[in-house]
Structure 1
């Protein structure tokens, strides 16, 4: 009985024995680290981390909320469906700088002006967050990511003593905020614009701007904090830990707008040349509308089959409707029903209205697809005419 008693008593103290947070020395340094955008799509928007360094206690920790585990069961499925958990990781500062050097991404340090108690509160917050039961979280690109988590950490540790100024607030949407990072990645920009729905066009608040590392860095740089000497600038000094070589700006030989314009020219020329002909099959149109229908299925999946909050209410579904798959299959046949022709008449009218109203829609549409929309309109009306007026159909 006594043995069991001592085991129970010991087990009650295990959490306190196994987890104790060191007391930072008065010389501890707390910094916000900002890594500039990289060349790959995943690194296009930069990265943020918190650095706590205390030589007296041999502490050199980079707190990074932007990591995930490739060994997670069903990794790719969870990633696509927005169910993958990201986590807080901790590493040494030299590892981060070495990685940035390899990718030629600049590293900027903002050493923060904080009291000893404020540093300790932030350190305690991060260490508790790093516990296995706390480190995982549901990642959201706009609302809960590696940058916004640091904003929230500063708020949690410093409370009302930290004041952000709204001098950089320009009344922009989330989509407008990420566009400058994709200027030289037009195909990636198009892909993101097509996948993001109307929620991406909500106007971001000054606090929400900080989901981007550059905006977090600017906000921290203009913030104030109550310290031992009163109200002071939150940033004590700025240091460039690594200066990357300026990448050469290469002009894009092929752009999405160019690709769609060429398709429009080919489709328009083909329509003109074959106007008086009576084809038995519409193979090229079948391929076009099959691709559009499959893309529409992808949009529906992003809308209803994932946990992504910003891929819902996507107006691009209007011109890429999944039912195009069915009529595309009919176009490969020698004859098709009268109703198929009227399907294309209806589709042509809908896409024409969509294109005419593109500037007033509640969702910003990438203008590179306008030639594609015109091609859909031209071929829809042409198919209506040739299927119904040229009597290449069977009644139902």
Structure 2
């Protein structure tokens, strides 16, 4: 009973003290934490957070943006439509450190060169952000995520504008190239990203926009200044990722798996050619897959608030109209106009190749075998129906 009363009293005091406007002391420090990539696609880009330390007040807290709000109504529908609110999190540094070191993710710390007034302003801002009515914000992967929040909040609390210079190793890249720095192009994650996101991410990113990735928050902050002082006072590595032997998954990669499927389709097409027949089931499957994917891409473009899914030229191979025209494939001799439609599909594949060559949009390399076999199958059907 005494233990319960003591625990209740401690919780009451903790909540009450944070509910008040706690004043930091001269020894307080504010730093930016940069977490290295993890093993899963969700963790592939790393993470950023603020750390506030005031040992005189017994404070060592980490604030991070980008926590899922699983209690949100219609969570998955809102997630798909780009209308999902994310949360700011608050945790003790010891727990934060234990979690990320357990998952073997590098933790770097940059102590910010802020005045006590700026530190207090940042702390108050984060505490106010953590209030239940303020915790939620509309997430955007490129423009309002866990990294950009660190940049934006820092600019809000400093007495003078932050001047972000270019790091020494800066290279001009597109948004897609920046993504590929973290995700292997021949991976299923990259395949999904390259199919779902449109040509809008194939433009060159401005230097300021690089900071949608946590590692660039670290590199840009490292050379940033506030007036005549450096933004970062000191940098250290709190945990260094340990090398572990990881087996290569090349045999399970998109190029291999889709390549094997493409070879099978080519073999079936060759057998059809030799026997002068048509495997109807194969054509129905191909039209169904490309049509369904096309419809999904159209929905991502026009029915969601995702900014990066617009102007997606994957629709040149994933043609939504294929769903409508499947019925013609069940006929021994389809309508004459269907041959014109097949020519249209072949032209679309040629246009896609042109878009790729001139740099309008970069497509998934794992799709190459499938695109080749689509062209072969369409040409065969065109000749077969002649």
Check whether the contact 1:194–1:366 (CA below 8 A) recurs between aligned residues. Answer: yes
Structure 2 residue 278 is the aligned partner of structure 1 residue 277: no
**Structure 2 portions without partners, runs of 5+:** 1-16
- Map of 1:283-298 to 2, 5 A cutoff? 283-298=281-296
Any conservation in 1 of the 2:291–2:321 contact (CA below 8 Å)?
Answer: yes
On the 8 A contact 2:147/2:214 being kept in 1, the answer is yes
CA contact (8 A) 1:280 1:334 kept: no
Query: 35-44 or 104-113, which moves further after superposition?
Result: 104-113
Residue 82 and residue 277 in structure 1: after superposition, are their counterparts in 2 closer, same or farther (change >3 A)?
A: same
1:159 Cα deviation (Å)?
4.7
Listed as ranges, the matches of 1:120-139 within 5 Å are: 120-139=120-139
Choose from 245, 253, 257 the match for 2:242.
245
Partner in structure 1 of residue 25 of structure 2: 25
Q: How many residues align?
A: 368
TM-score calculated relative to the size of structure 2: 0.89
User: 1:343, 1:91 → 2: CA distance?
Assistant: 58
Contact kept in structure 1, 2:355 and 2:361, CA below 8 Å: no
Q: Which of the numbers 220, 241, 252 marks the counterpart of 1:254?
A: 252
Once the two structures are TM-superposed, the CA of residue 129 in structure 1 deviates from its matched residue by 2.2
Any unmatched runs of 5+ in structure 1? 1-16, 390-396
Deviation for aligned residue 1:22: 1.5
1:378 and 1:185, CA in 2 relative to 1: closer, same or farther beyond 3 A?
closer
For residues 354 and 184 of structure 1, what CA distance do their matches in structure 2 show? 19
Instruction: Name which one, 1 or 2, has greater alpha-carbon Rg.
Output: 1
Q: What's the offset of the Cα at 1:182?
A: 0.8
Residues of 2 paired with 1:223 and 1:346: CA distance?
Answer: 53
State TM-score, norm by structure 1.
0.87
Match of 1:393 in 2: none
> Retained in 2: the 8 A contact 1:281–1:332?
no
Q: Is the 8 A contact 2:62 2:91 kept in 1?
A: yes
Question: C-alpha displacement at 1:289, in angstroms?
Answer: 1.5
Root mean square deviation of aligned Cα:
2.1
Aligned to 1:303: 301
DSSP-derived class of the 1:160 partner: coil
* Cα shift readout 1:181-233 (whole Å, capped 9, x = no counterpart): 1128611111101100111112211111111110001111112235xxxx333
Preserved contact between residue 122 and residue 153 of structure 2 (Cα < 8 Å): yes
- Moved beyond 4 Å, runs of 4+: none
Q: 2:56 — aligned with what? A: 56
Question: Judging changes above 3 Å, is the alpha-carbon distance between structure 1 residues 247 and 298 closer, same or farther for their aligned structure 2 residues?
Answer: farther
Match of 2:7 in 1: none
Equivalence for 1:345: 343
Tell whether the 8 Å contact from 2:185 to 2:365 is kept in structure 1 after alignment. no
Task: Quote the residue 1:385 is aligned against.
Answer: 383
